[in-house]
Structure 1
Amino acid sequence: MTHPVPADPTVATPADLDVLAEQLGREPRGVAGIAARCVCGRPLVARTVPRLPDGTPFPTTYYLTHPGAVAAASTLEANGVMKTMTERLGEDEELAAAYAAAHESYLADREELGHVDEIDGISAGGMPTRVKCLHVLMAHALARPGVNPLGEEALALAAPTWRRDRCTC
């Protein structure tokens, strides 16, 4: 099934907001755009403003919404992948440096949407020193391919059940 994609695929259309509500099981909040789409055109990742309409600071700029990707991230978390990745950050200086760079990239992307003092310097997913949420890291990797090494790794680990190049909508 194909989904209508606007000329600028980062724009969240009313149809996209309907899909996000379906995916999340609730009305989406603070959507600034669509950061990544399924090959069929439906949203995979919502880009979210750093302060929600109710005033709540919200550090999660890239929010994974696709049910298949969310389930794959949850399975990886349940299998202990976060612990192993965090341990590797303490052992592999190159990986730690690339992950720190991903953190800085995330902060810069969020700052484009506005500055919120309460979350200044705080990215998401545990960056830059630990792995706390694979959903965030996978969303970042989908939104900014090649920037987040552990997000890319999580996407590769998810491939037996969910892949970005195959529609499962």
Structure 2
Amino acid sequence: MSANTKLPTQHDLDTISLQLGRPARDVVEIGARCVCGAPLVATTAPRLSNGIPFPTTFYLTHPVLTQAVSRLEAGGLMAHMNERLSEDTELAEQYAAAHENYLSERERIRELSGVGEVPEIEGISAGGMPSRVKCLHVLAGHTLATGPGINPLGDETIAGIAQWWTPEKCWCDGAWDPAAEVPTKDLSRHVKRLERQAQQQDAGKQE
């Protein structure tokens, strides 16, 4: 994907907001696109504009893709992957290298976004890397954004969802309502936590 196709347009951001059901947050690039051009992966700054550190650089946004990966998680694939990581030295080494690639990509995005250092997540990638598997969505996003051959378990995740989603076909029809009003209020748990903290601070000042 060229730099021009990675640059998010307002239409891309609106689409991501509709896909997620909340406003798109600090999207620096479109990490991967459907064959029709719709976003699949939002490449996100490592610190959000509200100040929260955000380790998940490559965030899956497409509902069909996200649901497909959730099916693999529900089927127990992560436990099997963790067993293999403890037994297969070559796989463990490849996965550790994927962790380093993730950190390198995050640093690239940090510099591109213009945010300062994010010491809270320094050396920490996402998804359980470098030694565990805790989130297949992270691994799938990594593979889609960087291409095959970087994250072996991300590659396996994409291969494992082929019965529900494949990159060669458009799965967008009916996945979200493109005519709906674009969400403007962020109801994510992170924002709710910040709102609670602000309310507690205000209450403390009034006492």
Residue among 100, 103, 120 paired with 1:104: 100
Q: Output one character per residue of 1:49-101: Cα deviation in whole Å (capped at 9) or x when no partner.
A: 00000000000000011111100110000000011001100000110000000
Runs of 4+ in 1 over 2 A off after TM superposition: none
Q: How many residues align?
A: 164
- Please give the secondary structure, in 2, of the residue aligned with 1:46: strand
Between the aligned residues of both structures, percent identity stands at: 59
Q: Output one character per residue of 1:2-44: Cα deviation in whole Å (capped at 9) or x when no partner.
A: xxxx981100000000110010000011111101000000000
Is 2:129 aligned against 1:133? Answer: no
Bigger helix share: 2
Q: Name stretches of at least 5 consecutive residues in structure 2 with no aligned partner.
A: 111-116, 173-207
Is 2:143 aligned against 1:152? Answer: no
Aligned counterpart, 1:143? 145
Distance 1:79 1:46 in 2: 26
Residue among 104, 115, 118 paired with 1:116: 118
Distance 2:28 2:19 in 1: 17
Aligned counterpart, 1:92? 88
- 1:1-169 alignment runs, 5 A limit: 8-114=4-110, 115-145=117-147, 146-169=149-172
Distance 1:125 1:19 in 2: 25
Q: Name stretches of at least 5 consecutive residues in structure 1 with no aligned partner.
A: 1-5
Q: What TM-score, normalized by structure 2, do the two folds share?
A: 0.78
Q: What TM-score, normalized by structure 1, do the two folds share?
A: 0.95
Structure 1 stretch displaced more, 107-116 or 21-30: 107-116
Distance 1:38 1:113 in 2: 21
